[in-house]
Structure 1
Amino acid sequence: MKKRLMMVQPLCTGLICAGMLTACVSTGSGMTSQTGGSAPAGQHYIPVEDFFRNPSKSRFTVSPDGTHIAFMQAWKNRMNIFVQKRDSDTAVRVTAAENRDIAGYFWANNSLLAFLQDTGGDENYQLFTVQKDGSNLKNVTPFKDVRVGIVDDLKDNEHEMLISMNKRNRQVFDVYRLNFTDNSLTMIAENPGNISGWMTDHDGKLRIATTTDGVNTGVLYRKTEQDPFVSIMETGFKDTFSPLLMTFDNSELYVTSNLGRDKAAIYTFNPETKKLGKLIFEHPEVDAESLIYSEERKVITGAVYYADKRGYHFFDTQRAALQAELEKKFPGLEVGVSASNRDETVYIIRTYSDKTPGAYYVYDTADKSCTLLAETAPWIDSTKMASMQPIQYKSSDGLTIHGYLTIPAGKQAKNLPVVVNPHGGPWARDYWGYNPEVQFLANRGYAVLQMNFRSSTGYGKEFWTKGFKQWGKKMQDDVTDGVQWLISQGIADPKRIAIYGGSYGGYATLAGVTFTPDLYTCAVDYVGVSNLFTLFETLPPYWEQGRQMMYEMIGNPEKDKVLLEEVSPIFHIDNIKVPLFVAQGANDPRVKKEHSDQIVNALKQKNIAVEYMVKDNEGHGFHNEENRFDFYRAMERFFRKHLDK
């Protein structure tokens, strides 16, 4: 929202989810895990539930006038919205979701909240509104098999917002003006078929659209809403030119671009002359990610980038001073501003580290007070968590691969059992911070290796494109090289190495045990791709715009048939000789259940050991708390049986 480009469908990053559970946290008491058995001498097992329970409270926001705080909290094991006055400790639950967590919410005005929710993980999000006292709950887009997105919350208009829907045509998204007073919907922009995203200016006017023909991307612009859109930029999809927001006088754009360079930088761009202007920020090692700004003071305050950790570059002394003050208040923690009221006098502050999911605070600029709202997971004892250390190693063809290594607390980095954990996406990356999966595995005594293999985003154009048509090949070699690095360093016991991943990471898991069958002891595939032909045959309708791009990045089922057969694990199951555990959501719209069915059935026919867990009320990853518990309990049993030797 907030004048940034709203992508209405995933196109070139994160086509397959980058990791479903890195934000999940949990509760518990510190008793022995319910999975059975006890911890080895000198090792304290924290219950599975402590890592994967719903947060105590999370996603705090403040109303536009600063008088009320909203947040998410579990009710009947589902994350619901609660609201309280800023000066009160008593909260009112305003939603009653029982089957599925609410996906996200925001303040539509000072008295009304809006939220999104899908059904059983199908990702067809519907939009609901509810008063801050919990009254007048409405489903304002009750359309079957239609996906809703937010284009602009229209901060200066208390009665309307702009949304996108693929109601008219399931493959593309039109823009509608939603009126809260009578819940009327008026289409204000019809997608001609090539638009992949929409963006407004600071007055809420629809001024920018991004386009794709499958392999080329473009940006359209209009001076007013009465003018026709005209093309101001067209590039191949390998080049980045992404609008971030308009300048505060609505005359130019801030964009991220890697045109003529490797690492994306942030510039101004003049839509009339169609020329890049001032270089706002660049980083020598990684892509510039985004800008932070003050809507109230109408000034760009800083830029954000991610190297080993998140970094800021401030342009504004006031925002820099606030950051310095907050970091002084919370030494040793990462700290950032996650929300504010309209006039930016009240901020929601978020803290975290690799050892704690952190807490939320409310900061009042009037007296510089910083008051605790809630610890996200107060049952997590940071002193018992393991450190996530940034690492790097060389690939077999000389690339520098960045990643993270987590060594179990109290253990020496020597001859350890290891879980290799490639990320999803694959056009995404792993980040430093609290990761419940990693901490859970480390608590069980396993070192965890995460790597940003080639094609991971954030490291420049060349690194990203080196992974094109390299599924199961050079991308997989980067994973293998990480394992060999661990062995050469004496960190890994070569007889006790497992691989586990979700989504693309699930593919990498299957590829690992298929193409390097002697490297791993066992494997866990979570909603992973087994057959690249099936992947293309089952694309959601709103991914059709990106089909040709995916052909360029992965391979064309017709032109590259031999390649796709070569790198699809389903065609090479005879190579698999280690135990495999497969988990799948029945309603997954991204990696259909057919992928897991195919690999499981084929292995059973070959009498190869395989465990299979299917959750009928889940999609791309397990989001319901009880399903998370089941999955990680089963994973623990599986690793104890096959990795603890």
Structure 2
Amino acid sequence: MRLRSMMRVRAGMALCVGISTTAGAADPVGPIAAAFGAREAVQQMSLSPDGTHVAMIVPVRGHGAALRIANMTTGEVAQPILSASGDPETLTSCRWATDIRVICQIRTASKSSFGLIGFSRTVAINRDGSAMKMLSARTNDRSLGMMQDGGSVIDWTADGVAGAVLMTRSFVPEMTTGMQTASSGEGLGVERIDSVTLARRTIEAPRGTADEYISDGRGMVRIMGLRSRSNSGYETGRTDYLYRKPGDRAWLPLSRLEGDQNGTGFNPYAVDPALNIAYGFDDKDGRQALFKVALDGTLKRELVLAHPDVDVDGLIRIGRQSRVVGATYATDRREVAFFDPALRALAASLNAALPGKPIVTFIDASADENTLLLFAGSDVDPGRYYLLDRKTRKMGEVMPARALLAGIPLGSVKPISFRAADGTMIPGYLTLPAGSSGKGLPAIVMPHGGPGARDEWGFDWLPQFFAARGFAVLQPNFRGSTGYGSAWFQKNGFQSWRTAIGDVDDAGRWLVAQGIAAPATLAIVGWSYGGYAALQSAVTEPGLFKAIVAVAPVTDLDAFREEARGFTSYTVVDAFIGHGPHVQAGSPARHADRITAPVLMFHGDRDRNVGIDESRLMASRLKGAGGKVELVEFPGLDHQLDDDGARTLMLAKADAFLRNAMGM
């Protein structure tokens, strides 16, 4: 019913003793906090097939979002044509079906006896705001279950008819009077839907264990993933992939994937119909590599791209058919290997044309791939969106990502490595205040979320805020992070918490040993798993960090496990956390008496990744142990605290808290 994951985000009072306070508008807000707390000007962007219009999801007051259409020929930006308040519905993605019609997905959540349950629905709307229609199938009073998943578009070309798409559908069986089954189909299937007329027909009949479908971009479903479940209905963590030969409806075995993260086996991501292959990832010498597998019956397998030090972890895709044109991996910086010679040459010329913006990403393309929508930025540049005409080689700026940061000096991000207690070199990124000597500074260790994630070089609003306030910030890619192979991942950051937290602690010691941090002004700030790491580091090394800021943290591993109890992913979560002495020893809420530093926590009460009761438990235990703690709760917000005011308040309070706690 939900796939539990801790999102890859990081975060960062006068001291008080208490359990919780509620964020309010009267709290002081500084201009720097407001500038960094403001959400990006564009949350998602898409280019029309003819290359003349851009659809943008933009933030609106509070934590809402709206769809606006920009005419790239005239420069006119229309008023919002679709909006979501964020309370609780959110507008998550919009993409063009035709030159005038846009398909958007809306997500929401509601409370149940199991906790918060997520729902999604998909709608289509004309670019002038007219003719909005629901594409998701509807349930009725005869339906024998809830339809949480409103479907996702997997092919934007369907059978060549303008506006027709292939979209997944969660089929729910129905009953009629007399208890006769009106519709027995159940599970995930695929429909062809005309986004204008709403005419629909089933392309792939539903299967109870179907979890994923991959099309070839030309209207044919070529790969299906079947998610294994136990007799009790819980997911097992195993997915069997099947494929079809061209023009054949029979399903044939392709691969088996064991495990959700750091799993083993070929994991298909895309189909190239011209080459008749599937691109996907699998292990090579302990690290993830990109392979291609023939879909002609032979399953001939070839290595496409591997790196000896890091995982190859992403595909570069472009155009209406999501054509695979390259792959990407991150060493000290994100690198791209293009398979398409023309795009390889174009990327090189863009790097020369955009000095100081080495991060160039292709966002979207027109149907003929002549007009490209790009993003370019760096560590000290939040980035800008551009429109490029490949024929005329003319490029114009669409808009900056964070206009409010113009004029605020940003700190350069330097890849570093430090030695852990067992001698292992741990990679990370050090951000120093602009113009700083880099010595004797107040400093923050900022472990990332996940735990299955990693930090990368580039702009990051959270460490940059603290750097702008005079702090040095070190983001360690501790063991338990992804991106460096299975040996680095260990068992994961919970089961192998002693190693992961040891690396985090060693990051703090390194800052002091290098003279970067003054020992009395060393703090730790983390979000999600990073918040867990911040609290657990204070258990293992009391006194190392003088102040702790934890945003949406896990605080008790058994409590976190129980959050998944009513969902089909429970056994996967259970196995991920594991059983044994590490659960008790690795739960900071059970060792609150060991935490001597003051603690500030933030949490949204609609968090579906980590329930707010985790922070409430920690605050209660700290208070009971006589510790200094404040919990700021944000009503109506989820794990990301995706609200300008909330983020601004969080930054301002965290900054004041750190300065007060460390006597600055």
Please report the TM-score for the alignment, with normalisation by the length of structure 2.
0.84
Q: Which amino acid aligns with 1:571?
A: R
CA distance in 1, matches of 2:498, 2:322: 48
Contact 2:270–2:324 (8 Å) recurs in 1:
no
Instruction: Name which of structure 1's ranges 85-94 and 137-146 shifts more when overlaid on structure 2.
Output: 137-146
Matched, 1:132 2:127: yes
Equivalent residue number for residue 77 of structure 2: 91
Secondary structure class of the residue paired with 2:108: coil
Q: How does 1:480-499 map to 2 (within 5 A)?
A: 480-499=505-524
Equivalent residue number for residue 172 of structure 2: 168
Q: What is the Cα deviation at residue 315 of structure 1?
A: 3.2
Contact 1:526–1:584 (8 Å) recurs in 2:
yes
Secondary structure class of the residue paired with 1:118: strand
Instruction: Name which of structure 1's ranges 481-490 and 150-159 shifts more when overlaid on structure 2.
Output: 150-159
Equivalent residue number for residue 610 of structure 1: 629
Q: Which amino acid aligns with 1:485?
A: W
CA distance in 2, matches of 1:604, 1:195: 47
Contact 1:456–1:464 (8 Å) recurs in 2:
yes
Equivalent residue number for residue 147 of structure 1: 149
Q: How does 1:66-105 map to 2 (within 5 A)?
A: 66-77=51-62, 78-92=64-78, 93-99=80-86, 101-105=90-94
Q: What is the Cα deviation at residue 164 of structure 1?
A: 3.7
Equivalent residue number for residue 117 of structure 1: 106
Q: What is the Cα deviation at residue 197 of structure 1?
A: 2.5
CA distance in 2, matches of 1:274, 1:36: 66
Secondary structure class of the residue paired with 2:165: strand
Instruction: Name which of structure 1's ranges 203-212 and 633-642 shifts more when overlaid on structure 2.
Output: 203-212
Q: Which amino acid aligns with 1:230?
A: L
Equivalent residue number for residue 16 of structure 1: 6
**Cα offsets for 1:580-600 (capped at 9, x unmatched):** 111111111121122112111
Q: How does 1:57-456 map to 2 (within 5 A)?
A: 57=42, 59-77=44-62, 78-92=64-78, 93-99=80-86, 101-119=90-108, 123-141=118-136, 146-155=148-157, 156-164=160-168, 168=172, 173-183=188-198, 188-189=203-204, 192-213=207-228, 214-223=236-245, 227-237=249-259, 238-249=263-274, 251-258=276-283, 260-271=284-295, 273=297, 275-292=299-316, 301-333=325-357, 334-381=359-406, 384-456=409-481
Contact 1:417–1:496 (8 Å) recurs in 2:
yes
Q: Which amino acid aligns with 1:88?
A: T
Question: CA 1:492/1:172 → structure 2, altered by over 3 Å: closer, same or farther?
Answer: farther
Q: What is the Cα deviation at residue 440 of structure 1?
A: 0.6
Contact 2:101–2:163 (8 Å) recurs in 1:
no
Contact 2:97–2:195 (8 Å) recurs in 1:
no
Equivalent residue number for residue 546 of structure 2: 521
**Cα offsets for 1:224-246 (capped at 9, x unmatched):** 68735333222533324221211
CA distance in 2, matches of 1:339, 1:357: 19
Matched, 1:54 2:39: yes
Contact 2:593–2:627 (8 Å) recurs in 1:
no
Q: What is the Cα deviation at residue 218 of structure 1?
A: 3.0
Contact 2:10–2:447 (8 Å) recurs in 1:
no
Instruction: Name which of structure 1's ranges 594-603 and 151-160 shifts more when overlaid on structure 2.
Output: 151-160
Instruction: Name which of structure 1's ranges 515-524 and 132-141 shifts more when overlaid on structure 2.
Output: 132-141
Q: What is the Cα deviation at residue 295 of structure 1?
A: 5.6
Question: CA 1:606/1:383 → structure 2, altered by over 3 Å: closer, same or farther?
Answer: closer
Q: How does 1:504-583 map to 2 (within 5 A)?
A: 504-539=529-564, 544-545=568-569, 547-556=570-579, 560=580, 562-583=581-602
Q: What is the Cα deviation at residue 106 of structure 1?
A: 1.0
Q: Which amino acid aligns with 1:470?
A: Q
Q: What is the Cα deviation at residue 616 of structure 1?
A: 1.7
Equivalent residue number for residue 4 of structure 1: none
Contact 1:152–1:204 (8 Å) recurs in 2:
no
Q: What is the Cα deviation at residue 159 of structure 1?
A: 3.4
Instruction: Name which of structure 1's ranges 132-141 and 448-457 shifts more when overlaid on structure 2.
Output: 132-141
Q: What is the Cα deviation at residue 515 of structure 1?
A: 2.2
CA distance in 2, matches of 1:215, 1:60: 33
Identity %: 26
CA distance in 2, matches of 1:610, 1:167: 48
CA distance in 2, matches of 1:193, 1:497: 52
CA distance in 2, matches of 1:530, 1:71: 37
Contact 2:188–2:207 (8 Å) recurs in 1:
no
RMSD: 3.0
Contact 2:155–2:215 (8 Å) recurs in 1:
no
Secondary structure class of the residue paired with 1:130: strand
CA distance in 2, matches of 1:115, 1:254: 27
Please report the TM-score for the alignment, with normalisation by the length of structure 1.
0.87
Question: CA 1:51/1:535 → structure 2, altered by over 3 Å: closer, same or farther?
Answer: same
**Cα offsets for 1:82-113 (capped at 9, x unmatched):** 11322112111221333455222111222111
Question: CA 1:415/1:364 → structure 2, altered by over 3 Å: closer, same or farther?
Answer: same
Contact 1:151–1:199 (8 Å) recurs in 2:
no
Instruction: Name which of structure 1's ranges 406-415 and 357-366 shifts more when overlaid on structure 2.
Output: 406-415
Q: Which amino acid aligns with 1:18?
A: R
Contact 1:57–1:71 (8 Å) recurs in 2:
yes
Q: Give 5+ residue unaligned stretches, structure 2.
A: 13-25, 111-115, 140-145, 174-185, 229-235
CA distance in 1, matches of 2:544, 2:205: 53
Contact 2:36–2:648 (8 Å) recurs in 1:
no
Question: CA 1:120/1:234 → structure 2, altered by over 3 Å: closer, same or farther?
Answer: closer
Q: What is the Cα deviation at residue 612 of structure 1?
A: 1.2
Q: Which amino acid aligns with 2:70?
A: Q
Contact 2:255–2:267 (8 Å) recurs in 1:
no
Which of structures 1 and 2 has the larger relative contact order (alpha carbons within 8 angstroms, sep 6+)? 2
CA distance in 2, matches of 1:290, 1:98: 32
**Cα offsets for 1:499-542 (capped at 9, x unmatched):** 11111111112211222222111111111111111212112866
Number of residue equivalences: 609
Q: What is the Cα deviation at residue 20 of structure 1?
A: 6.5
Question: CA 1:381/1:295 → structure 2, altered by over 3 Å: closer, same or farther?
Answer: closer
Equivalent residue number for residue 592 of structure 1: 611
Q: Which amino acid aligns with 2:242?
A: L
Secondary structure class of the residue paired with 2:119: coil
Q: What is the Cα deviation at residue 187 of structure 1?
A: 5.5
Q: What is the Cα deviation at residue 441 of structure 1?
A: 0.5
CA distance in 1, matches of 2:615, 2:374: 41
Equivalent residue number for residue 649 of structure 2: 630
Q: What is the Cα deviation at residue 65 of structure 1?
A: 1.7
Contact 2:288–2:306 (8 Å) recurs in 1:
yes
Contact 2:39–2:642 (8 Å) recurs in 1:
no
Question: CA 1:294/1:215 → structure 2, altered by over 3 Å: closer, same or farther?
Answer: closer
Instruction: Name which of structure 1's ranges 371-380 and 112-121 shifts more when overlaid on structure 2.
Output: 112-121
Q: Which amino acid aligns with 1:245?
A: A
Question: CA 1:183/1:599 → structure 2, altered by over 3 Å: closer, same or farther?
Answer: farther
CA distance in 2, matches of 1:350, 1:216: 36
Q: What is the Cα deviation at residue 301 of structure 1?
A: 3.6
**Cα offsets for 1:406-444 (capped at 9, x unmatched):** 111122222221111111111111111111111110111
